[in-house]
Amino acid sequence: MKVYQKIYQNINQNINQNIKQRKEKHMNAEILSVGTELLLGDIVNTNTQYIAKGLAELGINVYRQSVVGDNRNRLKKSMEESLQRADLLIITGGLGPTTDDLTREVAAEVLGKKLILDQSILDGIQGFFDQIKVPMEKSNNKQAYLPEGAFPIENPNGTSPGILIETGEKIVMMLPGPPRELQPMFDNHIKPYLNKYAQGIVKSKVLHVFGIGESTMEAMIEDLIEGQDNPSIAPYCMEQGLILRITARAREENTADEMIRSLEEKVQKRLGEYIYGVDHESLEGAVVKALKNKGYTLSVAESCTGGLVAASITNVPGASEVFPLALVTYSDDSKTNLLGVPKDIIKSRGAVSKETACAMAKGIQKIGGTTMGLSITGIAGPGGGTANTPLGLVHIALAFDDKVVHEEKNLLGDRNRIRQSAAKHALNLVRKVVREQ
């Protein structure tokens, strides 16, 4: 690998020199992903998301994202159309050694450039195979060809270098498809190169919301959304709940931070009790943090969720300080024998009921010797629902001090969605109650 990396000793110097020769301008970009496997859904296209986020941080607008299969004619047409619209075209995939890797050849044709063998790259590729003691197939030679006037981009994690070429007012970048190769290349070379064209600072802050529906949330901040400009605010519905992304553009980072802070304060006043975290914070992380801050401990008894709450909490580093015990009491007998839920309650009120959930919460609190005891019981389906206990009915209870707080939820979806949603509602109940103490 060291031999392979020698190819790139002077690349950054050459690229930086080339940058200085270009006039600063506002750039519009397109991302073109190449690979039939992407169209078939065999591979999730994480590269586009990664690149788009990186470009957004630089203030470079991504106007279009496209996917095209390993077909020469369609790839050529896609490149031609993109270059008619965009100043910057980033192409991912199709740089490998096989016959269906067509990106460099088609790009050279579209740009009217000859493909030229770079002997230093070929020597480096050969050195890579020599180092790992594997014979190099002749097909790997194609990775050493570059369109005339192009720069290779270092790829310490693979044999195919990236390719950067400036032609007229256009910039074309070709990056390998495997994320473990693309991401370091993008961070270490592409972003520093494009920083020349950054339009000030673009910063974002994500607020995580749980406990209300999307339409209710939007109604509570409707005027803020309608009046947005810079900073902007955008709501999204995701698996873990709702998020609000606040984005600001400014010349200085401090200015962008202040713009975000000002709008965030307005949102906090409207949604405060429903916001559980920012940026990469999780709901279970917020619960563990809240328990630690109060010096509380929590034990959990789960039925329909089968340990999902416990698994979420134990994903948080340091959770053992506040979380000593969890039990999955799936059967009626286990609820009685382990948690002490009276048989007559289960018989008269049912295993899925407020009364059973409250008894479970008290039982696990006592067994765990914890500040709080959390319980969940419900009907996740697909069978088992009745007129009185319909599919999706979930009872959640939280015992603390001498009180028990109870919530009833009627959740929608298949078995997995109901269970996942129930676990999140249970965590959120703990967060809310701890917050109020």
283-436: same fold as 2-197?
no
Domain spanning 283-436: CATH 3.40.50.150: no
- Does 10 score more than 50 pLDDT? no
Nearest in space to 62 (alpha carbons), one of 44, 48, 76, 72: 48
Kindly state the average pLDDT of the residues 375-392: 92
**pLDDT at residue 25, rounded to an integer:** 57
Cα 265 from Cα 207, distance rounded (Å): 11
- pTM of the model as a whole: 0.72
Q: What is the pLDDT of residues 340-360, one digit of tens each?
A: 999 999 999 999 999 999 999
CB atoms within 10 A of CB 174: 26
What is the 3-state secondary structure of 278-304?
Answer: ECCCCHHHHHHHHHHHHCCCEEEEECC
Cα 5 from Cα 156, distance rounded (Å): 7
Domain assignments of the chain as residue spans, ordered by start: 2-197, 201-278, 283-436
DSSP alpha helices (H): ranges in 308-353? Answer: 308-314, 332-339, 343-349
Report residue 267 as tokens.
Answer: 């949102």
- Does 111 score more than 50 pLDDT? yes
Exposure on the CB side of residue 220, measured as CA atoms within 13 A? 19
Give the percent of the chain with pLDDT over 70.
94
CB atoms within 10 A of CB 388: 9
| Averaged pLDDT of the chain | 91
Kindly state the average pLDDT of the residues 83-94: 96
User: In CATH, what class is 201-278?
Assistant: alpha beta
- Does 9 score more than 60 pLDDT? no
CATH superfamily of 2-197: MoaB/Mog-like domain (3.40.980.10)
